[in-house]
A and B are shown apart, each in its own frame.
Chain A
Amino acid sequence: MDYINIFIRSIFIDNMVFAYFFGMCSYLAVSKTVNTSLGLGLAVTFVLSITVPVNYLLNDYVLGEGALVWLDNLLGLENKFATYDLSFLSFIMFIAVIASMVQLVEMVVEKFAPTLYSQLGIFLPLIAVNCAILGGSLFMQEREYANLGEATVFGVGSGIGWLLAIVGIAAIREKIQYSDVPAPLRGLGITFIVTGLMGVAFMSFMGIQL
């Protein structure tokens, strides 16, 4: 089953945080308590599972080489638009989709879940510049998933992987406050090293074939 394979891979083996260090900025800044990190993790998962499929469609029907062939068919032309390769525009298109999608999510959350909105505060708009989101779209483009379903599964899986990582580190950081860490390592330093150790643990999933 391809879908299950992609799903498990994107959560555990190709984990956004431990294998590629995506979204480290908010991962380090927000992971002080479990509650807020859970909220941010859910928001990231949600945005990823929307933007990856949308960008997949964009890539497939507008940006890729020969993607505009439907325009030829529509207008009854021969090989006019089909020869265009607009992939150099993908960065700017992807980030535009992400920024507008985050704006939309922000408005929806503000309207329908005001409590969650006030809890997330500044971190909701900052998802737009979270590397995990753009990274998800760029990996989707690079790995050339076969269809929309696979891309969606990849987006959801990556989001859940990120959620697991940030909730895990938040739980550890809540405990580590009571430990005797050497003064220069306190705060940022020990968080880096703990994340490294968690990454080693996640590496044990490597080589799993489904």
Chain B
Amino acid sequence: MSSEKEPLFSAKNLKLITTPLGAQNPITIQVLGICSALAVTVKLEPAIVLSISVMFVTVFSNLIISLLRNTIPARIRIIVQLVVVASLVIIVDQVLKAFAYEVSLQLSVFVGLIITNCIIMGRLEAFALGNKPWPSVLDGIGNGAGYGFILIVVAFFRELLGTGFLTLPGLGAIQIVPDVFYQWGYANNGFMILPPMALVVVGIIIWVQRSRNKDLIES
């Protein structure tokens, strides 16, 4: 511990939250955590719930591993990380089953798959093992938010264009496209709710992001 105390939200710490939202986004740039990201984006509600769950796990696993970082032997660190993450995911799973049963049915195996979500292991390896608890918590918030941001954007477009509705937690399905549009000949694009379109939508997000920020273009 340094004798000089850094302010809790110094510029350096705030950067830990903001870069994963844009230039270091876990999904579009670091390519982490795609597995669970795409399959739950048919509707907005499960996407929001999964984002919150992942954020909870990233924040607390980062915190716990960061607190333990000097006591974990390097050789068995993967097992230790898996145990910490799996325990947190069990908590999330039990809470969802108790308070949001419908959503937990929609998410099915994807809650369990948070364990193998590469964002979590990636951030534990790359950040929490070498940093103090507070920056690790901020890093967890940032990466959880960066992941959730993409999830929610993808789910928003897929549900809106695919069904004309948006499902929000606690509010149920809300019709966004007015009936008049359908009378004028507008039709829902049923293709948007099929699995392959999730990939194409993420591809388009990457395209937009890299067109705006030329530094990110791969050679």
Binding site for B on A (CB under 8 A): 18-25, 28-29, 88-92, 94-96, 99, 125, 128-131, 133-135, 138-139, 142, 182-193, 195-200, 203
Which residue of B39, B115, B216 is within 8 Å of A21 (Cβ)? Answer: B39
Tell me what chain B mostly uses at the interface: helix, strand, loop, or mixed. Answer: helix
Q: What is the bound-complex CA distance between A94 and B37, given in angstroms? A: 21
> Does residue B83 face the partner (Cβ distance < 8 Å to A)?
yes
> Does residue B177 face the partner (Cβ distance < 8 Å to A)?
no
Which 5 residue pairs across A and B have the least CB separation, nearest first? Answer: A199-B196, A187-B218, A192-B203, A196-B199, A184-B210
- Size category of the binding interface on chain B: 35 or more
Whether A131 contacts B94 in the complex (CB less than 8 A), given A138-B113, A188-B218, A189-B207, comes out as no
Which residue of B31, B87, B108, B206 is within 8 Å of A185 (Cβ)? Answer: B206
**Judging by beta carbons under 8 Å apart, are A24 and B38 in contact?**
yes
Beyond the given pairs A92-B86, A189-B206, A195-B199, 14 more chain A to chain B contacts, judged by CB atoms under 8 angstroms and listed by A's residue number, are A21-B37, A21-B38, A21-B195, A21-B198, A24-B38, A25-B118, A88-B93, A94-B112, A99-B82, A131-B36, A182-B207, A193-B203, A196-B199, A203-B195
Give 20 pairs: A residue, B residue, CB < 8 Å, sorted on A. Answer: A18-B195, A90-B112, A91-B86, A91-B112, A92-B83, A99-B79, A125-B78, A130-B116, A131-B36, A182-B207, A184-B210, A184-B211, A185-B207, A188-B31, A192-B202, A196-B199, A196-B200, A200-B194, A203-B194, A203-B195
**Judging by beta carbons under 8 Å apart, are A91 and B211 in contact?**
no
> Does residue B28 face the partner (Cβ distance < 8 Å to A)?
yes
Which residue of B32, B90, B199, B209 is within 8 Å of A91 (Cβ)? Answer: B90
Q: Which residues of B are found within 8 Å of A92, using beta-carbon distances?
A: 83, 86-87, 90
Which residue of B has the minimal Cβ distance to A189?
A: B206
A32 to chain B, nearest CB (A): 12
**Judging by beta carbons under 8 Å apart, are A134 and B196 in contact?**
no
Q: Which residues of A are found within 8 Å of B202, using beta-carbon distances?
A: 192
Q: Which residues of A are found within 8 Å of B211, using beta-carbon distances?
A: 184
**Judging by beta carbons under 8 Å apart, are A186 and B118 in contact?**
no
**Judging by beta carbons under 8 Å apart, are A25 and B207 in contact?**
no
Q: What is the bound-complex CA distance between A129 and B194, given in angstroms? A: 26
Q: Which residues of A are found within 8 Å of B173, using beta-carbon distances?
A: none
Interface residues of B in 91-118 (CB under 8 A from A): 93-94, 108-109, 112-113, 115-118
Q: Which residues of B are found within 8 Å of A197, using beta-carbon distances?
A: 196, 200
Tell me what chain A mostly uses at the interface: helix, strand, loop, or mixed. Answer: helix
> Does residue B121 face the partner (Cβ distance < 8 Å to A)?
yes
Q: What is the bound-complex CA distance between A197 and B202, given in angstroms? A: 13
Interface residues of B in 187-219 (CB under 8 A from A): 194-200, 202-204, 206-207, 209-211, 214, 216-219
Q: Which residues of B are found within 8 Å of A89, using beta-carbon distances?
A: 90
**Judging by beta carbons under 8 Å apart, are B109 and A142 in contact?**
yes
Q: What is the bound-complex CA distance between A18 and B35, given in angstroms? A: 11
**Judging by beta carbons under 8 Å apart, are A192 and B86 in contact?**
no
> Does residue B52 face the partner (Cβ distance < 8 Å to A)?
no
> Does residue B33 face the partner (Cβ distance < 8 Å to A)?
yes
Q: Which residues of A are found within 8 Å of B198, using beta-carbon distances?
A: 21, 196
Q: What is the bound-complex CA distance between A40 and B90, given in angstroms? A: 29
**Judging by beta carbons under 8 Å apart, are B115 and A28 in contact?**
no
Whether A183 contacts B217 in the complex (CB less than 8 A), given A88-B90, A138-B113, comes out as yes
Q: Which residues of A are found within 8 Å of B216, using beta-carbon distances?
A: 184
B119 to chain A, nearest CB (A): 9
Q: Which residues of A are found within 8 Å of B155, using beta-carbon distances?
A: none
> Does residue B153 face the partner (Cβ distance < 8 Å to A)?
no
A29, A129, A203: most-surrounded residue (chain B CB, <10 A) = A129
B32, B78, B207, B209: most-surrounded residue (chain A CB, <10 A) = B207
> Does residue B89 face the partner (Cβ distance < 8 Å to A)?
yes
Which residue of B has the minimal Cβ distance to A184?
A: B210
